[in-house]
Amino acid sequence: MTADRITNDGSADRSMAYPATEARAGESFLSISYLRGALWRQRVALLGIVVTALAIGLILTMLATPRYTATATIRVNVDNTNILPGQDVSDPFIQVNEVRNYLATLIEVVKSRRIASEAANRLDQATMRSLTGMDISESSRLAARGIIRNSISAELPQQARIINLNASSTDPQAASAIANAYADAMVADSVLGGTESNSAATEFLEKQITEVRNELRAAELTANEYARANALIGEDAEAVSVNNDGGARTITGSNLANINEAYINARSRRIVAEQEWQAISRLPIAQVPEVRDSPAVQALRSRLSELTVQLSELRERYQEEYPEIRDVRAEISSLQSEIASSGQEIRDSLRSEYQIALRQERALSTERDRLSAATLDEQDRRVQYNIYSREAQASREELASLLARFNQISSAANLQDGNIAVLDYAITPRSPSSPDLMRNMLLALLAGIGAAIGFALVREFFDERIRTLDEMEARLGIPALGQTPYSDEESSEVMLSSFSALGEAYSSIRATLSYAMPEMDSCVLQVTSSQPGEGKTTSAIALAVRFAAVGKRTLIIDADLRRPAIARQFELAKQKTGLVDVLYNRTELASAICDVGIDNLQVLPVGPIPSNPVEILSSGLMGELIKKVRGSYDVIIVDSPPVVGIADAPLISRFCDATVFVLEANRALYGQARTAVRRLMDADARIAGAVLTKYRALDAGQNYSYQYKYYQYQTVEK
C-alpha cells in the first residue's frame, strides 16, 4: 500500500510520497527483542507457573513416603583353587577378559526369583511383618519374594570384583535385613552350586519325598474329581491366596462380583441420567443448558443475530416488501426453526439416555439375583472341597519342608566352598535416601520454567495485537508516520509542551506529514482510528498545535457526530451552534468557529449532537464546507469517528486529501485494524500513514531507557 502526495490544487497525486512498504514477515519469532518483550508481557503468568511448579514439587516431596537404603557388599573370587586336597572344582576356568561379563551375570542372578525366594526364607519375623503385615507362612514368603525383588538393586564398582547390594524400604531396619538376606542368599547359592548328593541321609530323604509326592498327587486328584463332579470351577488353590471362606474364587463368584460391580455402575449412570432428565424435563427448550452450550445452536443463534442486525439496517433504508428484506426474513424464520429442531433433538437424546440407563439397571439387577442364588448353592458344595484342598495343602507343606531339609543336608555334605563371600553386612540407615528435597525442587523449577516459557510462547503466537512500527508496517502494509510514548499527560499539556517526550513525538510526526504536503496552499487531513480510545482526538489536537506553531493557519473540524471530544479537550463552553448548523446554513461559519487562545489555530466544534450522522455525511454538504474553508487555512484537520462498526469515517475520507490512521500499541488487533484499513481503501481514502500511540518500550522488547530518552535531546544545564 502506498501513500499519496498532495498537489498544489488540492488533488491527490498517486505517485508515492513514501516508499512502498512490502509485507514482510516482521520480527523473527525467536529474535532476542521479541523474546524479551514476550517474557516481559507474560511476566505475571510466567512467575505464577514457576511458583505453582515449585509449590507442587514441595507438596509432593512433603507427601512422599521416606525410603531408606541399606547396602551390603559381597566379594567375588574368580581364581578357582582347591580348598581341600583332592577336592574337585566344578566351576569352569574364567579368563581375564571374561571377568567383567561374569560379574555382570552375577548382577542378573541377584534379580532372579530363586535368589529372592532364598532371601525371603532368611527374613525374620519382624521383617516379614513389616513387609507383608503377616507372620511367617508360605503365603507371606510368596508375597515377600515379590516385594524384596522390587526393592533390591545391584551395582558393580569400576575396576573391582565387588558387588554392592542396595535394598530400599520404608522401614530402615527392613532395608538392612533385606540387604543382608540377599548377601547370605548369594553366598549360599554359590556354595550349593557345586554340591553332590552322596550321603545316606539324602537317600532317605529322597524316599520320603517320593512318598509325600504320591500322597500329594492322590489328594490333589481327589479334590479335582470332587470339583468336577460338583461343577466347582475356579482357580487353582495353590496358585492364589485363600478367600475368607477358605477356597479359591470360582467362575460363579467372579461373575457375581463382576455383575455386582456392573450393576453399581449402571445404577449410578441411571441416577445421573434421571437427575439430568428431571432437571430439564419441565424447562423450555431454550433454557436447557445442553441446548445453550451446543456449538451448533450457538452458531445458528450467532447467524440469527447477524441477520437480525442486517434486517434492522435494511429496514432503515428500504420498505418491508423490498426483495432483500423478504429474503432476510425468510432466512431468519428458517434459522428459528432449525434452532427449535436442534434443541428438541438434544432434549430427546437426554431422555433416551435416561431410558437406556434404566433398562440396563433392571437387566443387571435380574442377572445379579440369579447369580446370587447360584453362588449360595455353590458355597454349600464347596465345604467338602475345602476339606480335600486342605489335605492337599498339608501334603504340599510337608513336601516343601522335606525338600528344604534335603537341601540343608546336601549343603552340609558338600566339601566344596563357593566363590562369593560377604565383605560387609548392611547397617541400619539413619536418614532416608528419598525423597531428595533439593533434587525435587530443582526438577520442579526446571519443569516450571519450561512450562512457563512454552505457555508464554503459545500465548504470544495467538496474540494479534500490534506493538511496534515494524509490525504495523509489515502486517498492514501502510507507512509509519511515527509513534508516541505512553504518557499520563492530559491533552492540554500535549498542546502546550514543546519538550516533553510526548510533545517531541508529535513534532516528529508533524514533520513527517509535512513531507507529504510540499508547496501547497491548503491540505485537508483526516484523523481516524480502528476503535475508540486509541488517541485519535489527542493526535488530531497535537498535530494541529504543531502545525500552528510553525506558522500554518490551522483549523480543527470536529466531525465525530456521535461522541465529539474536541470542545471538551479545549475546555470550550457548551456551543449552541456548530458544524451541523454550518452544513445546513442555519448559522454563519465565522460565528461557529472558536478561538482557543493559540496563535494560528481555530476550532469548529460539532455543537448539538445530531440524530442522523450518516445522512448528514452522505449528503455531500461536508465536501462543500471543506471547499469553502480551504482557501482560508493552510491545514484543515478533520477529527472523524473510528472506522470499525460505523460508516462515518469512510464517508468523510472522500472529502479529505489524506488520512492519518491512529493505532494504540498493545491494544489494536491486527484483524480489526486490517478491516478498518480495507474499509478506508474501499472508500478510495488516501492513507498518508499510521501513528502508533501509547508505545511501551518494554512490552515491545526494547531497552528500558528507550522509553524516556528516545525523544529527548536537549542541553542539560549544570
- What is the residue-averaged pLDDT of the chain? 75
Same domain, 365 and 478: no
In a domain, residue 236? The reply is no
Print the domain residue range for 680.
464-709
Closest of 410, 455, 437 to residue 191, by C-alpha: 410
| Residue whose C-alpha cell reads 474329581 in the numeric block | 225
In a domain, residue 32? The reply is no
List % helix, strand, coil for the chain (3-state, nearest 5): 55, 10, 30
Q: Give the containing element (helix H, strand E) for 554.
A: strand 554-558
603 φ/ψ angles, rounded to the nearest 5 degrees: -130, 135
CA quadruple 56, 62, 67, 68: dihedral sign? positive
Measured from the Cβ of residue 90, the count of other Cβ atoms closer than 10 Å reads: 11
Q: Which residue has the higher pLDDT, 374 or 629?
A: 629
The rounded distance, in Å, linking the Cα atoms of 336 and 365 is: 44
Closest of 654, 615, 659, 620 to residue 637, by C-alpha: 659
CA 475 to chain centre: 28
Same domain, 342 and 471: no
pLDDT in tens, 357-366: 778 877 877 8
pLDDT of residue 31: 64
Same domain, 504 and 582: yes
Instruction: Enumerate the β-bridge partners of residue 554.
Output: 601, 635
Contacts 24+ apart (CB under 8 A), 285-290: 285/340, 285/343, 285/344, 285/347, 286/343, 288/343, 288/346, 288/347, 288/350, 290/346, 290/347, 290/350
In a domain, residue 240? The reply is no
Which residues have a Cβ under 8 Å from the Cβ of 30 and sit 6 or more positions away?
A: none
- Tell how many helices (H) and how many strands (E) occur in the chain: 25, 14
Q: Is 424:73 a contact under the CB 8 Å cutoff? A: yes
The rounded distance, in Å, linking the Cα atoms of 670 and 242 is: 71
Closest of 168, 71, 55, 66 to residue 436, by C-alpha: 66
Q: What is the CATH number of the domain that holds 678?
A: 3.40.50.300
Residues 553-569 have a mean pLDDT of: 87
Same domain, 454 and 389: no
pLDDT in tens, 302-355: 777 877 887 787 777 777 777 887 777 777 777 777 777 776 677 777 777 777
Residues 167-193 have a mean pLDDT of: 84
In a domain, residue 211? The reply is no
Q: Are strands 658-664 and 594-595 parallel, antiparallel or unpaired?
A: unpaired
Same domain, 341 and 316: yes
Predicted confidence band of residue 698 (pLDDT cuts 50, 70, 90): low
Closest of 188, 171, 89, 166 to residue 126, by C-alpha: 171
Above 50 in pLDDT, residue 196? no
Q: Which residue has the higher pLDDT, 352 or 630?
A: 630
In a domain, residue 500? The reply is yes
Closest of 167, 164, 166, 163 to residue 131, by C-alpha: 167
pLDDT in tens, 563-606: 888 888 888 877 778 888 888 888 888 888 888 888 889 999 98
Angle between helices 323-413 and 251-281 (to 10 degrees): 160
User: How is residue 418 annotated by DSSP?
Assistant: P
Four-point Cα dihedral 361, 364, 370, 373, nearest 10: -80
In a domain, residue 50? The reply is yes
Above 60 in pLDDT, residue 5? no
The rounded distance, in Å, linking the Cα atoms of 263 and 596 is: 85
The rounded distance, in Å, linking the Cα atoms of 174 and 537 is: 80
Instruction: Enumerate the β-bridge partners of residue 480.
Output: 690
Predicted confidence band of residue 631 (pLDDT cuts 50, 70, 90): confident
Which residues have a Cβ under 8 Å from the Cβ of 216 and sit 6 or more positions away?
A: 392, 395, 396, 399
pLDDT of residue 446: 92
Q: Give the containing element (helix H, strand E) for 559.
A: none
Q: Give the end of a domain, one of 380, 413, 446.
A: 413
How many independent structural domains does the chain possess? 4
Angle at Cα 664 formed by Cα 662 and Cα 665, nearest 5°?
Answer: 130
Same domain, 57 and 93: no
| Residue whose C-alpha cell reads 442486517 in the numeric block | 310
Instruction: Enumerate the β-bridge partners of residue 601.
Output: 554
The rounded distance, in Å, linking the Cα atoms of 299 and 200 is: 93
Joined together, the cell numbers standing for residue 122 give: 532368611
Same domain, 569 and 627: yes
pLDDT of residue 87: 39
CA 223 to chain centre: 59
Above 60 in pLDDT, residue 4? no
Q: Which residue has the higher pLDDT, 255 or 413?
A: 255
pLDDT in tens, 418-453: 678 888 888 888 888 888 788 888 998 999 888 888
DSSP E strands in 418-549: the ranges are 420-424, 480-485, 523-529
Joined together, the cell numbers standing for residue 609 give: 449532537
Same domain, 696 and 553: yes
The rounded distance, in Å, linking the Cα atoms of 223 and 675 is: 86
Same domain, 514 and 451: no
The rounded distance, in Å, linking the Cα atoms of 390 and 246 is: 9
DSSP E strands in 206-320: the ranges are none
Q: Which amino acid appears at position 156 of this protein?
A: L
Same domain, 311 and 386: yes
pLDDT in tens, 285-301: 665 666 666 687 677 77
Same domain, 56 and 136: no
The rounded distance, in Å, linking the Cα atoms of 135 and 151 is: 20
In a domain, residue 47? The reply is yes
Q: Is 2:13 a contact under the CB 8 Å cutoff? A: no
Q: Give the containing element (helix H, strand E) for 678.
A: helix 670-682
Q: What is the CATH number of the domain that holds 162?
A: 3.30.1890
Same domain, 576 and 486: yes
Q: Give the containing element (helix H, strand E) for 595.
A: strand 594-595
Q: Is 109:186 a contact under the CB 8 Å cutoff? A: yes
Above 80 in pLDDT, residue 49? yes
pTM for this model (two decimals): 0.47
pLDDT of residue 395: 80
The rounded distance, in Å, linking the Cα atoms of 698 and 41 is: 8
Predicted confidence band of residue 409 (pLDDT cuts 50, 70, 90): low
In a domain, residue 91? The reply is yes
Q: Which residue has the higher pLDDT, 285 or 398?
A: 398
CA quadruple 490, 492, 493, 498: dihedral sign? positive
3-class SS at 453? helix
User: How is residue 703 annotated by DSSP?
Assistant: -
**How far separated are the first and last CA of the chain, in Å rounded?**
48
pLDDT of residue 595: 87
**Alpha-helical runs (H) found in 433-500:** 437-461, 469-476, 491-496
Per DSSP, the residues of 83-102 read SSTT----SPPPPGGGHHHH
The rounded distance, in Å, linking the Cα atoms of 706 and 697 is: 6
Residues 115-122 have a mean pLDDT of: 85
The rounded distance, in Å, linking the Cα atoms of 367 and 362 is: 9
Angle at Cα 87 formed by Cα 86 and Cα 92, nearest 5°?
Answer: 125
